[in-house]
Amino acid sequence: MLIKESQLIQKTDILNQLNEAVYITQEEASLNLSEVPVVVKENGNNMVDYGYVVKLSEDNGYSLFESIEAIKESNGIDNLTLLVDEGNAIAMQESFDPEHMVVRPLSEDSDEVFWCDFVSEAYLNDEIDEDVFTEAIMVDNSKDLAMVNRHLDKLETRKNKELLSSYDKYYNDIKNIDRNDKEYYKKMADAASERTKRDNEAHKRLGDGFDRTDVAWNRLQNIRRIHNEKRNKKIATAVAGTALVGAGIYAYKQYKDKPKSVIGKRIAALRKVYAKFMKKAQSAKDNGIAAKLKKVAAKILSVIDKLMEFLQKKAG
């Protein structure tokens, strides 16, 4: 299915499409060649999302190469470039082909980057220690934050409706006030005051406790509490003279069993945060601040190295 690049710019009503969605069977959900969207770029190149190629391969028992050739033949084209998410590109390692693949960078605004940056900043500011950092930085928190963001969107919509309703009431209050009325200015001020009061109540009712950073902070504190409980329990039961193993080991153990694409995505997020801290360190005028920033960057780099080690073991 060929799609011109210009067609992708057109707006669609996603909510209406979702409302009209119907349940389908697994067989009906299988991807066939005619359903794979291929974008025809203005420069003549043809591009397909790597995820579609993988699904086509899995649903039809093709190899990746067979799927690519089948898509080309089905659409009557002689070139095809795969658009690969940054996490998948990292997970591919040596099999990534820069001649036939381009990388879609992980967004700086993604939940993955937000969480890694948030935990790193907490470590920089001595709000958490090294062990808690090691555990928290490995937590798959993106799903939680994505859910929070969806909730925030809903709240924003409700809040906007309430504020609009508040303005309508204010407009009705003032439109009939006679300019010749001796109390004109007082009545106008009273109406404005009532509107401000309603607006503040709406903000308080719908806005408190749902800020993205507040949610992340509560999550981090919970991780710290659980971490300390584990550490205290281990200290209490440890044989005398036995060194305490860092709680970060638990997090690493949990993460190494995740799919390669998930590990790759976390590496992509950590690389962005690492680059941010190194840039800050290089521009810092105070040597002490620069040293602290580099310490956090080095810790982030050690986590990246550990995750890369997991990927290499999976590839092997």
| Tens-place pLDDT, residues 287-314 | 999 999 999 999 999 999 988 988 888 7
Helix boundaries (H) for the chain: 14-19, 26-29, 50-60, 64-75, 86-92, 111-124, 130-136, 142-175, 184-207, 212-237, 248-255, 260-283, 287-315
Mean per-residue pLDDT, 181-196: 84
Do 252 and 74 touch, CB atoms closer than 8 A? Answer: no
> Which single residue is written with the structure tokens 């002490």?
288
**Cβ atoms of residues 240 and 284 within 8 Å:** no
Least Cα distance to 277 among 139, 111, 122 occurs for 122
Q: How far is CA 256 from the centre of its chain?
A: 20
22-59 pLDDT tens trace: 443 444 445 666 677 787 776 777 888 888 888 888 88
73-117 pLDDT, tens digit each: 888 888 888 888 899 899 887 778 787 888 989 998 888 888 889
pLDDT at 134: 81
How far apart, in whole angstroms, are the C-alpha atoms of residue 286 and residue 295?
14
Q: Determine the Cα–Cα distance for residues 153 and 151; give it in Å rounded to an integer.
A: 5
Helix (H, G, I), strand (E, B) or coil at 87: helix
Task: Give me the amino acid identity at 13.
Answer: D
- Please report the pLDDT score of residue 247 as a whole number: 37
Give the global pTM.
0.64
**Which one is predicted more confidently, 197 or 19?**
197
Contact (CB, 8 A) for 46 and 5 = no
3-state secondary structure of 134: helix
Residue 286 near residue 110, CB atoms below 8 Å: no
d(CA 51, CA 104): 12
Smallest Cα–Cα separation from 296: which of 54, 71, 148, 116?
116
With a CB cutoff of 8 Å and minimum separation 6, the contacts of 133 are: 119, 120, 122, 123, 299
Would you say how long the chain is, in residues? 316
Q: What is the pLDDT of residue 15?
A: 45
